[in-house]
Chains A and B, each alone.
Chain A
Amino acid sequence: MRIRKRSFSFVFDFFSLIFFERSLRRPFFFCLLGMSLAMSIVLATISLMSGFDKSLKKSLRSVQGDFYFYHHRQAPFSLDSFYYFLGQEKQEPENVAFSAFYQTQGFLLPSSQQYGKKSTGVLIHFVDEFSMKEVTKREEFSLLESDKAVLLGSELAKDLGIKKGEELVLLFSLTKEDSNSSFLFFRGIFQGVVNHNLFEKDSRFVYAKRSSLQHLTGRDDLINRVSFNSFRQNDESGVEMSSQLPIGYKVEPYWSDFSTLLEAVKVEKVTLLLILQLIVLIAGMGLTAFLFFFYEEKKEMFFLLLSLGMSKRRLCLSLLVFLNVAHLFAVLISCGMLKIFNEFFFLTNLFSKGKAIYNLVELVPSLELTDYLQVFLLGYLLVILLALWFFYFLFKKPVMALMRSREV
């Protein structure tokens, strides 16, 4: 314990030596910078991968709540099926935030105001604005005031160049499972946009009131999906619920459509973390090279400390503490660099350019504590392993061998 405590006292001397000696200052500075840069590059990459995962999940969650309940053939069903499921889960409908709606594919036909525009394939949602607002926490649904009101995904509205109050025509059919299936026209008034932050949703989603569908079809119970928020803590999968479901029905978590992409991102994140550690390894080699350089430059000092009674074990321990402090500096600098990278991404809006490919309109880099630990600890491990190699080199020689080349 005592030997460890005393080792710290010489770490300051090593640093002051580096600070005061120009020949050491510059190599040390660049080694530290290299190490910091390497770690910040790994962190920036990981933060983008995690940010993608998080932003995508966050956006998806705000589209239709935590889970959705549906029949596997997309057929209309009675809300009683959902109530039955809730009963199996020992839940009262009053205590669960849910919204029943009808989702169908259709076409948005250009009206006279959108001259020159082609008709567009869209996914139409006839929703109950109050319950949908409660489930998704989206204020935009308040705009569905009248039966004619229509909301469009932000990208779709931008593409159409449509203005508030302009007319829209929706052409759609009810699903084939529905006996009354036929093409229906709906003339609506554009009231505003819904920004999902998901390119795919923003360019296809159309919302109208469920009551307007009721007027068109004469049926007030027409629903084929129920979105609901989780009533259990830490429940992400919905798999558990499947066992309680009526036959033919399914419950999927909000991210299930993108599960393959999310899984791929997860795997890629680990792969990249490992591959990019090579950069850290190279930077770590730089730091070890500095240690050898420091030793060659300051042979006399090491020899003096050993001849005055410092054991090799303690000298190595002091150098190890010195490396730990240097690594800590590198960690702090890399955090600063990461901040700069993220600012750069934000200012240049780099990732919005690939929104059609990556789906996300906006990507916010994100890092968990475990991501930091993985990068810093792996970097630390590499530095320590390389340092041990140096210590082995130091240990196997007698003290005098340090000075022999100087012919003392």
Chain B
Amino acid sequence: MSKEIILQLKGIHKKFSHEDVLKGVNLTLFEGDRVVLQGASGSGKSTLLHLMAGLDEPSTGEIYFLGKNLTHASDDYWAKLRNEKIGLIFQFHFLLSTMSGWNNILLPSRIGGRKSVKEVKTFLSPFIEELEMGHLLDKKPHELSGGQQQRVSLLRAISLSPKLLLCDEPTGGLDSLQSQKVTKLLLGLAEKLGITLVVVTHDEQVASHFSKRILIKDGIV
């Protein structure tokens, strides 16, 4: 049985001022793929990830998500998609400092309103247990370590069980041991939930865990 195409990029170009960052990228991601995007700093890998999430607009080219052409999709549509189908993890985990870990995790459900707090908590409880985070989620972000903060942002990203999880340097601020742990966690969760995973990294050690590697050099895949 053939796998469903989750995301497809066709001839993507991206220009900043007069500089071509991406030069005709073609990429297809299938259901359950675990992909690492590698490249040197400034190669365009983060830009490509942002285009996949609809956080930026391509200069030219087409983006398809679950078979639908999103090149001219509205901001509202992309927002709904990010809330329901795409999970995002950044190097800077962007946890709101005035909120507890739990409230940070529940942000997507508060925004979307599709799932109740109870539903999200029930869904996440085995993962919270696995990540040994149960006793830490009532704390504010500044009371947590870097690794713990990244786990909170990981739980937030999967809280609405997305189809696609996009991670931009998720281990960027962590030491090598924590990096290993977070990478294994990501792969484990993606496996369990059947999520298509895309990780942007320049860390060879992180990349070594992935079977499918995509190298970006000077804006070309």
Residues of A with Cβ closer than 8 Å to B? Answer: 2, 6, 9-10, 13, 16-17, 20-21, 300-301, 303-314, 398-401, 408
User: Chain B contacts of A399 at CB under 8 A?
Assistant: 54-56
**Among B2-10, B83-91, B121-129, the stretch in contact with A:** B83-91
> Do residues A312 and B75 form an inter-chain contact, with CB atoms below 8 A?
yes
On chain B, the residues within 8 Å of A308 by CB distance are 82-83, 88, 107-108, 111, 156
Say whether B108 contacts A309, CB under 8 Å.
yes
Among B56, B80, B83, the residue within 8 A (CB) of A398 is: B56
Query: Which of chain A's residues has its CB closest to B96's CB?
Result: A301
> Which of B50, B80, B94 contacts A304, CB < 8 Å?
B94
Contacts of B111 in A (CB 8 A): 6, 305, 308-310
Task: Give the contact-size bracket for chain B.
Answer: 20 to 34
Inter-chain CA distance A265–B135, complex, in Å, is: 70
| Smallest beta-carbon distance A305→chain B, Å | 7
Any chain A CB within 8 A of the CB of B79?
yes
Alpha-carbon distance between A306 and B75 when the two chains are bound, in angstroms: 10
* A313 interface neighbour in B76, B83, B107, B108, Cβ under 8 Å: B76
CB distance from B122 to the nearest CB of A (A): 20
Known: A2-B113, A13-B98, A307-B90. 6 other contacts (CB 8 A): A6-B110, A304-B94, A307-B94, A308-B111, A309-B81, A311-B80
Other-chain contact of B53, A13, A17, A307 (Cβ < 8 Å): A307
What 1/0 flags go to B188-219 for Cβ under 8 Å of A? 00000000000000000000000000000000
Whether B56 contacts A311 by the Cβ 8 Å rule is no
A17/B88 in contact, CB under 8 A: no
Once bound together, how far apart are the Cα atoms of A2 and B96, in whole Å? 24
Contact A309 B84 (CB under 8 A): yes
**Which residue of chain B has the shortest Cβ distance to A313 in the bound complex?**
B76
Nearest 10 A/B pairs, CB to CB: A309-B83, A311-B79, A400-B56, A304-B94, A400-B55, A399-B55, A309-B82, A311-B76, A308-B108, A310-B111
Task: Name the contact of A20 in the complex, choosing from B54, B57, B98 (C-beta under 8 A).
Answer: B98
* Interface hits, B26-55 → A, CB 8 Å: 46, 50, 53-55
- Interface residues in B52-80 by Cβ distance below 8 A to A read 53-57, 75-76, 79-80
Residues of B contacting A9 in the complex (Cβ-Cβ under 8 angstroms): 110
What are some 23 contacts across the A-B interface (CB < 8 A)?
A: A2-B113, A6-B110, A13-B99, A300-B92, A301-B96, A304-B96, A305-B107, A307-B55, A307-B90, A308-B82, A309-B81, A309-B83, A309-B84, A309-B108, A311-B75, A311-B76, A311-B80, A312-B79, A398-B55, A399-B54, A400-B50, A400-B55, A408-B168
Given contacts A307-B55, A309-B111, A400-B50, contact A408 B82 (CB under 8 A): no
Q: Which residues on A sit within 8 Å (CB–CB) of B75?
A: 311-313
